[in-house]
Amino acid sequence: MINPTLSRRRLLAAGGAVVVGFAMPALTGRGGEAAAAPGTGMPAPDALDSWLAIGPDGRVTVFTDKVDLGMGVSTAFAQIAADELDVPVQSVSIVMGDTARTPDQGGVGGSTSIAVGAVPVRQAAAEARRVLVGLAADRLGVAADTLAVRDGVVYAPDDPTKSASYGDLIGGRRFNIAVTGSAPVKAPDQYKIVGTSVPRIDIPAKAAGAFTYIVDVRVPGMLHGRVIRPPVPGARLVSAGSAEGLPGVHRIVAKGNFVGVVADTEWHAVQAARNLKVTWSAPRVPWPAMADLYTAMWSMTPTTRRVMAQAGDVDGAMRGAARTIEARYAWPFQSHAMMGPSCAIADVSDRGATIWSSTQHPHQLQHGIADLLGLAPGAVHVIWVEGSGSYGRAGMDDAAGDAAILSQAVGRPVRVQWMRADETGWDPKGPPVVVSVRAGVDAQGNVLAWDYVARGFSGSGIPAAATTGGNMLAGQLVGLEARGFDVPTVVQENYAFPAKRKTGEIVPWPQDGSPLRTANLRAPSQPATTFGGESFVDEMAAALRIDPVDFRLRYLRNPRDAAVVRAAAQHAGWAPRPSPRPDISRLGVTTGRGFAYAPRGNTLIATIAEVEVNQATGQVHVTRLVLAHDCGLIINPDGLRGTIEANLIQSTSRALKEEVRFGPSGVASVDWATYPILRAPEAPDRIEVVLVNRPDLPPYGAGEPATVATAPAIANAIFDATGARLRTVPFTPERVKAALADRTWPAA
């Protein structure tokens, strides 16, 4: 057992922060504290001390705004800093996402933590190494360029008496210099730690039950809050009831249409929220019937229509085509459905506000909370603490807003943890997307033109970062205006079709105060756009009777694209032939294989799914997934594999099972029974990951890309197995049976 008495009752004092390290160092006695930028309380990004500190014992602390969402980013940062400094990776600790101690790097999103976020850390570490070697040269009386560094000790290779450790040289003191970017960083062939499978920093404590998650944070004098949401969007609060008969209740807080309870214990808060008699007005829901959603989306007039990419004369080529092929695809509302419902602790007083949150955007949330509470941003201190895995703009920032309002109302620290129905029912949703694709081909079966349209809702209703009060649900419910943003979505692919057009369209959707407001969910909208694109490519290949891999390779001219496609096909033992398989039986259990490829930014993936389809029940079981992955330089191969495997499971779940249900009385998907996701018996029998390492390239993102091509690979495999084409996600048994009934293959 792991020291139960010490780990218990360990209170996080107000203003404290969580340090993640291979060994937990004491917070005191550490090297120079980050340098504050004037006026904001935020460390200045150009100061070396903002990024890195070295203690008297030689331990290194790295400061970054990039936070760990459960994918091992803290370990990767430790590897990068350790390699650049020539210290053991175990001597590095990471402080993440504290507005008073870490520079603003824009928060986490778009798989950029390593690709972009680690760049200044690497630079600062290189700069620090140069300074330290210079200090050692002075002390030892030798030229700096004759010195070497090993395990945090600078030494003269030809004179073993001459050495000085980092701890001796700077320990506990500040560097007091700017990072100029002029210190050379190591070339990839000099890396000793980057590129190796260093075990994750956080896992031992997590396996032992000793890790501090946001839900474990306790502050002195803390009360417990819970929220009560309107039954449907637009419902107005008529009466918030009274605390009478509700044990332990400190206050019922009603503000606009925001209702919350604050109680002395968590269980009292839960019961009070459940039993409080709240009366709401009963407006009609502002959305169509669920069954009509996609028809409604196609019938709306777009508010924005943007041609995102264009090559050649698409309309002319279509007119000259021997044949055109056309299809439409649809992707549903999906929930982030975080494992642990959103949680935050707020301590709001006359002196300002301290917020503990698992937000992906600490510095942006600082501004949002300030706006929500009417405080100056400098009076708000946001401290990130790791939460349940998050995959975009889920409820974390909303819970912070809830806690802030409740704490401000009662003048004491308040901890809010959402109930399951608050999380699944009220998180900002991944938006539905409909896709229409048309292609023109000539008499020889060459693609002449491709015309791709993706249509989505009001861009995203809820921006990735909660920079204003109105971008939190509580803010919307108290009447602050949401500031949405309209970015049309578009497919990412690199096919060299002679004429090509990609269009993104936006149709209106009511967002404010709605459980169907939309926001980024892992690889925002790309699973949907790639589902349309890669299903359609498969449909073209099938119509032309060409092997799906060969077909793609004909049009992929970039060698990295072709290499990742070949790597997956080769590993899977892909035998070229057209889909569907030649010997389809219309009865019983049948098997098939499907291919899909996609870039996401500079990362490239190719996914192969093998499925078993029970044609009597419509059940689809994924027996094997093979994924080839090229994200440039690999920092930690085992960590990367873990993240890719998890992406594949989550995206299989999204493809086979996930759809938020809604109707006239609100959102009906509120828990794991009404929003089922993949469980152990349904997980694929095998997942095989092929890593394509590119030490000559920078590290690109890996948090999301492996998610984007699973649904089309599975749909293409179902087609291969049965001749039935699934054009709407998820591939539930009912949908599969309907597609089987509609199929034209094999010719009857």
Partner 1 sequence: MSSPAGASPAAAHPAAAAAAPSPAATIRLTVNGVVHTVQAAPGTPLLYVLRDDLALRGPRFGCGLGQCGACTVHLDGAAVRSCTIPVAAAAGRRITTLEGLGPAGRLHPVQQAFVDEQAMQCGYCVNGWIMTAAALLARTPNPSDAEVRSALAGLICRCGAHMRMLRAVRRAAQSRG
| Contacts to partner 1 from residues 257-296, by CB under 8 A | 259, 265-267, 270-271, 273-282
**Site for partner 1 contains 512 (CB under 8 A):** no
Q: Which does 440 bind (CB under 5 to 8 A by kind): ligand FES, partner 1, none?
A: none
Segment near partner 1 (CB under 8 A), from 312-320, 332-340, 572-580, 734-742?
332-340
| Closest approach of partner 1 to the CB of residue 592, in Å | 22
| Closest approach of ligand FES to the CB of residue 338, in Å | 8
| Residue from 178, 375, 553, 646 binding partner 1 (CB under 8 A) | 646
Q: Which does 32 bind (CB under 5 to 8 A by kind): partner 1, ligand FES, none?
A: none
The DSSP symbol for 680 reads G
Using CB under 6 A as the binding rule, the residues of this chain from 295 to 334 that contact ligand FES are none
Determine the residue type at 495.
Y
| Closest approach of partner 1 to the CB of residue 8, in Å | 4
CA distance 158 to 153: 15
User: What DSSP string runs through 700-726?
Assistant: ---SSGGGTTHHHHHHHHHHHHHS---
Q: Which does 747 bind (CB under 5 to 8 A by kind): ligand FES, partner 1, none?
A: none
Using CB under 6 A as the binding rule, the residues of this chain from 35 to 74 that contact ligand FES are 70
**Site for ligand FES contains 376 (CB under 6 A):** no
**Max Cα distance, the chain (Å):** 89
**Site for partner 1 contains 236 (CB under 8 A):** no
CA distance 671 to 154: 57
Half-sphere exposure of 732 (CA within 13 A, CB side): 11
Return the SS3 of 429. strand
Tokens at 544, concatenated: 């032309």
**Site for partner 1 contains 73 (CB under 8 A):** no
**Site for partner 1 contains 242 (CB under 8 A):** no
**Site for partner 1 contains 649 (CB under 8 A):** yes
- Terminal Cα-to-Cα distance of the chain (whole angstroms): 65
Q: Which does 649 bind (CB under 5 to 8 A by kind): partner 1, ligand FES, none?
A: partner 1
Can you say how many angstroms the Cα of residue 344 is from the centroid of all Cα atoms in its chain? 19
Task: From residue 418, give the alpha-carbon distance in Å to each of 203, 218, 230, 270, 569.
Answer: 25, 16, 15, 9, 44
# binding residues, partner 1 (CB under 8 A): 95
CA distance 69 to 77: 13
Q: Which is nearer to partner 1, 168 or 216 (CB)?
A: 216
Return the SS3 of 409. helix
CA neighbor of 247 nearest in space, from 266, 268, 277: 268
CA distance 197 to 294: 45
CB 272, CB 261: distance < 8 Å: yes
Which residues, in sequence order, are CB contacts of 393 under 8 Å at separation 6+? 360, 428, 460, 462, 463, 464, 465, 519, 520, 521
Tokens at 55, concatenated: 């203690």
Using CB under 6 A as the binding rule, the residues of this chain from 433 to 472 that contact ligand FES are none
Q: Which does 202 bind (CB under 5 to 8 A by kind): partner 1, ligand FES, none?
A: partner 1
Half-sphere exposure of 37 (CA within 13 A, CB side): 18
Q: Which does 216 bind (CB under 5 to 8 A by kind): partner 1, ligand FES, none?
A: partner 1
**Site for partner 1 contains 524 (CB under 8 A):** no
**Site for partner 1 contains 70 (CB under 8 A):** yes
CB atoms within 10 A of CB 616: 12
Segment near partner 1 (CB under 8 A), from 12-20, 574-582, 601-609, 643-651?
643-651
Q: Which does 198 bind (CB under 5 to 8 A by kind): partner 1, ligand FES, none?
A: none
CA neighbor of 154 nearest in space, from 131, 177, 183, 181: 131
| Residue from 322, 339, 376, 616 binding ligand FES (CB under 6 A) | 339
**Site for ligand FES contains 637 (CB under 6 A):** no
| Residue from 41, 188, 234, 389 binding ligand FES (CB under 6 A) | 389
Using CB under 8 A as the binding rule, the residues of this chain from 416 to 445 that contact partner 1 are 417, 419-422, 425-426
CA distance 281 to 468: 27
Q: Which is nearer to ligand FES, 208 or 339 (CB)?
A: 339
Q: Which is nearer to partner 1, 441 or 670 (CB)?
A: 670
| Closest approach of partner 1 to the CB of residue 602, in Å | 23
Segment near partner 1 (CB under 8 A), from 124-132, 314-322, 359-367, 646-654?
646-654
Report the DSSP pairing between strands 433-441 and 237-239: unpaired
Residues near ligand FES, by CB under 6 A: 70, 339, 389
